[in-house]
Amino acid sequence: MDPETHRLLVKLAKLYYEDGLTQMEIGRRLGLSRIKVSRMLHLAREEKVVQIMISPGGKTDTELEHDLENKYGLAETIAVVPSEYTSTAIRAQLGPAAAQCFLRGLKGSETVAITWGRTLSAMVDALTTEHYPDLRVVQGLGGLSEPTSDVDGVDLTRRMAQTLGARAVILSAPGIVNHKLTKDALMKERHIADVLTRTAHADIALVGVGIPSSDSVVRTNNVFTEEEFDRLKAKGAVGDIGLRYFDREGNAVRDEVNHRIMGLELEQLKRIPRVIAISGGSEKVPTLRAALRGNLINVLVTDDRTARALLQDEEGHDD
């Protein structure tokens, strides 16, 4: 049995036998059909996963995931253990784990919104070739200033759709424009308005979680000016999802740049049934904690150290 299947069987067993969720409730949380949940619970019994893993002697990563789900009300957490705790090594582990998490619940007729970022690129690279002609992969945020970037929403949307045998829905607009009037004019274009409407009504959103640092995708691609970036931080911004900045409580930071962004709004994001965030590293802990407080995401794929830090309060003590 491969490690990801084993991880899923343990998670299903805990939700069913320890938390008392019904198979239907588990299916809704994990994006699976009730029949598939039933079959996997049967497999868990056959493979004696229930007997071995439900009452382990020591602290396991599955228990860590379970604790984080309970603390923040998440539908699911996946905590990978990277070979080393560098950004590159963590990203290399998060990509395949996120791809497996996304694919196993896919029915093939959903609308999937995707933003941009390095970790999302790693996830797209890890996807297996599928055939989902009724699936729609929608670009949830306009393009970067450098269109050849492999972390740009256009590139990620096309690559993902091609791998999955799905249809790509491209947002033919920049991620941010210079003036609100420009955005208002673009929104009158039927195609652009239609793409943003599709994004807001997506079944699944795949998002990265950014931090306001000098080496972020936002700064290295000159999405915002230095003055705009500093102003957002001065207003309490601790991170962003799709250029939408939020404070330490997960509330949207009010700034005029919001009126110029061509992409999903935070309130729209909250209404998407399954929002999978792929992010890890110690520097992301305050940002992820804020996103979790604000209920901006409901599935988290991260590393084990970050997961443990999120279980503690901000002073470093267990809640």
Whether 147 shows a pLDDT value over 80: the answer reads no
pLDDT given for residue 57 in this prediction: 39
Q: Give Cα separations from 289 to 60, 125, 194, 238, 315 (angstroms).
A: 22, 27, 33, 10, 13
pLDDT given for residue 53 in this prediction: 33
Of 161 and 21, the one with more pLDDT: 161
Closest to 242 measured CA to CA, from 286, 291, 278, 209 = 209
Task: Output the six-digit token pair for 177.
Answer: 């424009």
Over range 261-282, report the average pLDDT.
Answer: 96
| pTM of structure | 0.84
Instruction: Give dist(CA 110, CA 131) in Å, integer.
Output: 13
Over range 239-268, report the average pLDDT.
Answer: 95
pLDDT given for residue 146 in this prediction: 57
pLDDT given for residue 52 in this prediction: 40
Of 63 and 201, the one with more pLDDT: 201
Whether 117 shows a pLDDT value over 70: the answer reads yes
What is the SS3 assignment for 30? helix
pLDDT given for residue 220 in this prediction: 65
pLDDT given for residue 315 in this prediction: 55
Whether 316 shows a pLDDT value over 80: the answer reads no
Over range 268-292, report the average pLDDT.
Answer: 97
Q: Domains of the chain by range and CATH?
A: 1-58 (1.10.10.10), 59-311 (3.40.50.1360)
Lowest model confidence (mean pLDDT) among 55-59, 175-179, 271-275: 55-59
Q: Is residue 195 within 8 Å of residue 169, measured between CB atoms?
A: yes
pLDDT given for residue 58 in this prediction: 41
Over range 247-256, report the average pLDDT.
Answer: 96
pLDDT given for residue 88 in this prediction: 86
Q: What's the mean per-residue pLDDT of the chain?
A: 89
Per-residue model confidence as pLDDT tens digits over 49-85: 865 433 343 445 788 999 999 999 999 999 999 988 9
Over range 159-188, report the average pLDDT.
Answer: 94
pLDDT given for residue 290 in this prediction: 98
pLDDT given for residue 218 in this prediction: 72
Task: Output the six-digit token pair for 178.
Answer: 């210079």
